[in-house]
Amino acid sequence: MPTRIAVLLFDHFTALDAVGPYEMLCRLPDTEVVFVAERTGPVPNDRGELGLVATRTFAEVPAPAIVVVPGGPGQEAQMENEVLLEWLRAVDATSTWTTSVCTGSLLLAAAGLLKGREATSHWLALDRLKRLGAEPTGRRVVTDGKYVTAAGVSSGIDMGLTLVGRVAGDRHAQAVQLLTEYDPRPPYDAGSPGKASADLVEEFRTRSRFIPR
Amino acid sequence: MPTRIAVLLFDHFTALDAVGPYEMLCRLPDTEVVFVAERTGPVPNDRGELGLVATRTFAEVPAPAIVVVPGGPGQEAQMENEVLLEWLRAVDATSTWTTSVCTGSLLLAAAGLLKGREATSHWLALDRLKRLGAEPTGRRVVTDGKYVTAAGVSSGIDMGLTLVGRVAGDRHAQAVQLLTEYDPRPPYDAGSPGKASADLVEEFRTRSRFIPR
């Protein structure tokens, strides 16, 4: 039996949150990745213009080895979706790794899975993560036991590659990094609140409605 | 009218090649992104386990401002698909920017669009790109006129953010970088052939069938 990895999808998720770690984790040896949602079929992203196809319902994926929870503005509605939260609790009971990207950690926290644990989220959501009982850190990828949470959007790639190394060893992870040519060269150095200009950070903190408080 | 960006999809494309630049470019001001394929509906990725939904046919997208061509093992079959190559030539005639990620540049080259131009591709495909008439460089993102090509898989994020800066200015690009928290921290430093161990590079060069020569 291949190792089963479940990537959760829900309306108005952020596409890169799901596809970044997917592109790393799918290259684990002998692995099958399924895309799971309340219903099968296309699930629209946060802009409604990109659909990823859910191939399995919650009931069809009761015990994946690895669970990946993306974030995105749609996470807000899902925090009150008991069907989804119950699935998270159920799969977490037997998972080897439970992971999230961006505000996906708010969903794990809402399901009660991050109480007292070190975790992270999108930088604009760290206060909220704390109020949900986790202990936010400023690190990009945070591992606490079997829980691996990543910061905003693009950080899911680092999380996925980190997890590939934990599961399959450094050499396999380096092969994945080389094959996906993950040697990043951002044209700017403004990717975190400590590096971006203060007025840009402030602008997001005050006007941003994309992550509800 | 919003700026229209067309992301090409074809069977067995690599998902991150398309979604990486998408997640950056969709945040350009007043922009609409459409996913274009020969037929609308789900298009399977290179592992067949992830489908992205094409929302438009070639005929429905005659003149996008920006064209994004992903790569992936499916590119090989498409290099002989005259319907697709003809669409690339047609949209390139009026595009503001024609771009590619990974082996997507082989498709642009096969369409005759990169003759004598500086360009790049997945590191394993650079020789082939040269044989198709382009002038490969070792840089991660290569701009020659309106042609912006990126190296393997994950480099599409750098390409997308670079293009956001060219189109909307540095400050807007930095805002996109901050919002997507693109402050990469790869857990290894093996993301290009010059950095990975020589035996790993050699292993890919000799056994790799994922990029046909």
State residue A206's pLDDT score.
Answer: 87
Q: Looking at residue B213, what is its pLDDT? A: 41
DSSP B121-161: --GGGHHHHHHTT-EE-S-SEEEETTEEEE-STTHHHHHHH
The verdict on whether B102 is a catalytic residue reads: yes
Which pLDDT score, from 0 to 100, does residue B209 have? 55
Question: From CA B194, how far away is CA B124, in angstroms rounded?
Answer: 12
User: pLDDT band at residue A33, thresholds of 50, 70 and 90?
Assistant: very high
Whether B112 has its CB under 8 Å from any CB of chain A: the answer is no
> B153 vs A181: CB contact, 8 Å cut-off?
yes
Please, what is the average pLDDT of chain B? 96
Would you call B185 and A158 a contact, using CB atoms and an 8 Å cutoff?
A: yes
Residue A191: name the closest of B168, B177, B157, B20 by CA.
B177
Strand B147-150 relative to strand B141-144: parallel, antiparallel, unpaired? antiparallel
pLDDT over threshold 90, residue A211 = no
Mean pLDDT of A65-88: 97
Is-contact B180 A16, C-beta < 8 A? yes
**DSSP single-letter state for residue A124:** G
Is the CB of residue A64 less than 8 Å from the CB of residue A97?
A: no
Is residue A1 over pLDDT 90?
no
The per-residue pLDDT for A39 is 98
Per-residue pLDDT averaged across A116-140, rounded? 96
pLDDT of residue B78: 97
Residue B26 and residue B122: Cα distance in Å, rounded?
Answer: 24
- B152 at A interface, C-beta within 8 A: yes
Q: Does B137 score more than 60 pLDDT?
A: yes
Q: Which of A102, A161, A164, A176 is catalytic?
A: A102
State the Cα angle at B35 between B34 and B38, rounded to 5°. Answer: 125
Q: What is the pLDDT of residue B212?
A: 45
Q: Taking CA atoms, what residue in A is nearest to B139? A: A185
Report the complex ipTM.
Answer: 0.96
Query: Quick one: how far is CA B111 from the chain centroid?
Result: 15
Quick check: A123 and B181 CB within 8 A? yes
Does the pLDDT value for residue B160 go beyond 50?
yes
CB under 8 Å, gap of 24 or more: what pairs does B78-83 form? Answer: B78/B10, B78/B107, B79/B106, B79/B107, B79/B110, B81/B10, B81/B38, B83/B38, B83/B58
Average pLDDT of the residues in A160-178: 97
A151: three-class secondary structure by DSSP: coil
Q: Residue B114 has which token pair?
A: 């990169």
Partners of residue B22 in chain A, C-beta under 8 Å: 15-16, 50
Active-site choice (B69, B91, B102, B161): B102
The whole-number pLDDT of residue B138 equals 85
Asked if pLDDT for residue B83 goes beyond 60, the answer is yes
Set out the domains of chain B in order of their start, with CATH numbers.
3-188 (3.40.50.880)
Q: Is A135 helix (H, G, I), strand (E, B) or coil?
A: strand
